[in-house]
Amino acid sequence: MNNKLLQLNFSQLESAWKKSKNNLYSDTKKISYHKNLVDLFNKMKAEDFLGLSEIETVERSRVIDFFFISITFLDGSTVSQIPFEIIKCLEEALTDWVDEHDDFIIVTSLVKGINAFSFDTRLTFGDYYIIIEETYGIKFESKLIQINVPETLTRDYLANVALYHELGHFIDRKYRISEILTKKLIFDFRAGKFHIKFYDYFPFLKGADPQTFVNVLFSHFSEYFCDLFAAQYVGKSLGIYLDYITKGNPNHSNSHPATSVRVDVVSKFINGENDVLMDEILSVVVLASRKELKKRYKEFSSTDFENLIPVEINSASELHYLFVYGWNLWLSDWNEFQKVNEMAFPLSPNQIYEIINNLIEKSIGNYIVKTNWEKYKDVSAS
Amino acid sequence: MYLQVEEIRNLIDKNDLIIRPLLDIDSQLGEMTFDFRLGYDFLVSIQGREAYIDTSFNNNESSRVFENFFHKTRRRPGETILLHPNQKVLATSLEYVKIPKDVCLILNTRSSYSRLGLNLSTLVQPGYCGCLSFEFTNTNKVPINLTIGSRIVQGRFAKLASESNYFKNSRKYLCQVRPSLSAITEDKDLQILNSYWKDLNHQV
């Protein structure tokens, strides 16, 4: 890459930065990250690209890539857009699994595509932060966990159960769970310890050496783990949503197991049933992370949504159960709404959809407000 | 008849009147009023491409796309939002309420804020459920900075002679938790009036 092309790259960044440099954020970690970007930009602008070697030019270009990715996700997390209700739920899950959770910021990017939920690994697991610190002396105290959310679904809490699965990909990469599972399975196969039941979960292995399917195995283990990770928090809702987005696809692909098998695994986990796959994943997770895959939502019994009011949530574990409650209602007899509230007219599906999502949002929002009020009420009194 | 403090407290205790979250009942509940807080979602009026907001069906449809005249934004409790002179903002209460069927709620800006140029006066139907809708206009000559979560609107509860069924008719606004744009174009009488206008003006 020559210096002129690097200069072009930087000019593109400069144009994009003109807008993003004035972003306002609602928390100190994002503000601090943004300040680091300001410093980084100023240092790059002051640099003479003409004097750089080929390797340094490529490295600078990678830093510019980092910059673009950062502002893409931070733009979607500004004070005016951030869906802080769902972010709160994900932050609670992160706290369960990562002791140094304060070193991370969950950010979202709003994308086109109705089912375009995904976890972007580039910043969290790349070497960008190291390169920037070594080259410019700028240390980013927090790394971004970047999650893509379909723009049209930011307020769809029934669909947003998928975000727990995406957070699972971060946890998987952090503790290298799928990597360990894949290596272990190949090792066990070679050692003659491969259990025949694994063919139910990895049918492509029949008659084949697992080493030839190492990438597919890795991807499939990853999906199974992320499904279980999400099921800890949202129970069978994840299985329901999987069925919806995959349209019940009975076939596996190179990247994903068959939906019916995934739903079955989730169901077994929720019911406390074990089998070879579950045993394998549970034991490796504990070894790799010193954390446990277990039910982490607390059920509550409520008819508040049917009475058209938000639930009073008392703990983070109850927070996650809101999604299960919402899904149970969506799948139930909607006449209950009409009956309980003496409505002269039945509600349309779209109205039910709005009610459930609005009440989940407000229940989470109220929990956030109340816990912060209690916290700062005592601080101001002292 | 306006309800007084013990009656309001009684309704809350019996869950006949739902106010969630109820952050500080002692400071919010007065002798015959209840203070509601400013919520965190807003629709702020802006100058759009269209020349005017059209509430009739007689003209170009794009002037009835009310989204073009408002900008959506959010804040966190404790943060602020600035209202410029003459600027209109649609907001909601922080609290989600469900009002008894035999009570209506009369809302006014607290005098601390109306003295600064912020005015609101509205009625909430018996049986209403949702966050309360606030439509503020800054009538002052200078901008006003408002704190999200502050006690900004005062409500008086009036007892009715009999219960009223909020869901007797199909409702446009149901369990609202964010400000909504006007749904005036769903008014059926506008369709009738438009047909009459077309006939008068020989329009097809």
pLDDT of residue B70: 87
Q: Which of B24, B167, B178 sits opposite A341 (nearest CB)?
A: B167
pLDDT of residue A82: 66
Contacts of A84 in chain B (CB under 8 A): 74, 76
Count of pairs with CB atoms under 8 A, one residue in A, one in B:
76
Contact: A369, B94; criterion CB under 8 Å: yes
Residue corresponding to tokens 């509860």 = B157
Contacts of B174 in chain A (CB under 8 A): 308, 347, 351, 354-355
The token pair at A9 is 């790259």
The token pair at A114 is 């109705």
Q: How far apart are CA A33 and CA A16, in angstroms?
A: 17
Helices then strands, each counted (H, E), chain B:
4, 12
**Tens-digit pLDDT profile for chain B (204 aa)?**
999 999 999 999 999 999 999 999 999 999 999 999 999 999 998 877 777 788 887 876 666 677 778 888 998 888 899 999 999 899 999 999 999 999 999 999 999 999 999 988 899 999 999 999 999 999 999 999 999 999 999 999 999 999 999 998 877 778 999 998 877 777 788 888 888 888 888 776
pLDDT of residue B94: 98
3-class DSSP state for residue A249? Answer: coil
Contact: B94, A343; criterion CB under 8 Å: no
The token pair at B126 is 């018996």
**pLDDT per position as a tens digit, A164-190:** 999 999 999 999 999 999 999 999 998
Q: Which helix H or strand E contains B83, and what residues bound it?
A: strand B80-83
3-class DSSP state for residue A54? Answer: helix
In a mutagenesis test of the A interface, which of B28, B95, B96 is the best target, namely the one with the most A β-carbons within 10 Å? Answer: B96
Contacts of B41 in chain A (CB under 8 A): none
B119 vs chain A: nearest CA distance in angstroms? 25
Q: How far apart are CA A146 and CA A75, in angstroms?
A: 12
pLDDT of residue B202: 78
Contacts of B169 in chain A (CB under 8 A): 344-345
In a mutagenesis test of the A interface, which of B26, B40, B95, B167 is the best target, namely the one with the most A β-carbons within 10 Å? Answer: B167
Nearest residue on chain B to A313, alpha-carbon basis:
B21
A37 vs chain B: nearest CA distance in angstroms? 23
Neighbours of B56 (CB within 10 A): 13
Q: Which helix H or strand E contains B192, and what residues bound it?
A: helix B188-200
3-class DSSP state for residue A334? Answer: coil
Q: How many CA atoms lie within 13 A of B10 on its CB side?
A: 7
Please give the single-letter amino acid code of residue A127. D
Contact: B23, A370; criterion CB under 8 Å: yes
A359 vs chain B: nearest CA distance in angstroms? 7
pLDDT of residue A227: 96
Residues forming beta bridges with residue B42, ordered by sequence position: B73
Task: Name every residue whose Cβ is closer than 8 Å to that of residue A124 and which is 6 or more positions away in sequence.
Answer: A104, A143, A144, A145, A146, A170, A173
pLDDT of residue A380: 64
pLDDT of residue A72: 86
A186 vs chain B: nearest CA distance in angstroms? 50
pLDDT of residue B170: 79
8 A C-beta contact, residue A105 and residue A36? no
Length of chain A: 382
Q: How far apart are CA A332 and CA B60, in angstroms?
A: 42
Q: How far apart are CA B102 and CA B95, in angstroms?
A: 20
Q: How far apart are CA A83 and CA A77, in angstroms?
A: 8
> Which residue stretches of chain A have pLDDT < 50?
none
**pLDDT per position as a tens digit, A263-311:** 999 999 999 998 899 999 999 999 999 999 999 999 999 999 999 999 9
pTM: 0.92
